[in-house]
Amino acid sequence: MFSTELNGPGWTVRAWRAAALLASALLAACAGAPPLGPRASLAPDQSTAQRSADTELAPVAPALLRANSRWTPVRWSELPGFEEDPLHEAWNAWIKSCERPGPQFAALCPDIRLLSLGTAQEQRAWMRSRLQPYRIDPLGGAAQGLLTAYYEPMLEASRVPREGFSIPLYGAPAGAKSGKPGFSRQEMDTLPMARAALNGRELLWLADPVDALILQIQGSGRLRVTERDGQQRWVRLSYAGSNNLAYQSIGRWLQERNALQDASWPGIKAWIAQNPQRLQELLWSNPRVVFFREDALSEFDAAFGPKGAQGVALTPQRSIAVDPSSIPYGTPVWLASNGPATRLQRLVLAQDTGSAIVGALRADYFAGWGAQAGELAGRLKQGLQLWVLWPK
């Protein structure tokens, strides 16, 4: 959001006003007012400030229990990479969460907005003064979590079926939000009754059934649509419901049949290329079908991801999907994951969920859109540690 506004003609006035507000707040803090600006509490030497912060924020509060997790208070020094993360990248995602904050964070949002113009040092000092980190542990079970990633595919589509574009994407049929199980993927392809129920619900048409499956698994995408008159425009398809059947991983289906060891998307696509006669069997192994709604994709909207379950636009590499029974939407989370796909130590915001995102130490990392994001999303499957940053 702010990267777009900085290019606008009115930025100079808004920036000077915000800077003035920041200066006033910091002066007030120096005079003994409630601590909004952390600058006054920062020692000149950062290592001294760190030791002081760790002493002041020693975990004295009791652990907190949620539905399927235990939150254990820890010191800030236990968060790997906390001093190195460029927090401004996460701050925009945090401001997005303040568009629909939970009750625990609403009172902090004025500070969060003001500190968007602060330095990383000021932002870190404010976090130490107002938040307590808690390590997330599952209630029973292994302490090692799982991190995967998702993204927005960018695909070619047609408004009407035509040669080369025969795979439909559907809007939600009547009754899709009732919670009752609907027709499976196989039934939609084979049963006249199921086809009749979906007649007229087609939104767009794709060329590749595997692309349609990937789009449904990711939950949203950007499509360049060829309209009836031949003109092209970009649209976004967003999640609008499902047939309420459980998701089944096609990668796991292949592994259970000893057909594949590399269950990443590149590995799955390579298997399909070698076994085209088994493609339909593979697709039908996942009975879950996702329905979409079509949204306009303006130049402004294209700078952000789709809206997540919190109801705010996702920020690439700074938004995660979580199990909301363990981590409420809008919560800032420290994430650490080191594996073959990538190494991550950063501040992220819990802004989405998914049917496969279940458990205390489970997160899905929003990688962004396009081929590079898709490459990461296709390969990321590695261990995970999480800490929630909760108001004191």
Three-class SS state of 267: helix
Take residue 125 and report the two structure tokens written for it: 């000092």
Three-class SS state of 385: strand
Domains of the chain: 152-301 (2.40.240.50)
Count of other CB atoms within 10 angstroms of residue 231? 9
| 3 state SS for 248-292 | CCHHHHHHHCCCCCCCCHHHHHHHHHHCHHHHHHHHHCCCCCEEE
Question: Whole-prediction pTM value?
Answer: 0.81
pLDDT tens for 293-310 read 999 999 999 999 999 999
pLDDT tens for 141-198 read 666 899 999 999 999 999 999 999 999 999 998 877 778 999 999 999 999 999 999 9
Closest to 155 in 3D by CA, of 167, 147, 163:
167
Percent over 90 (pLDDT), the chain? 75
pLDDT tens for 218-233 read 999 999 999 999 999 9
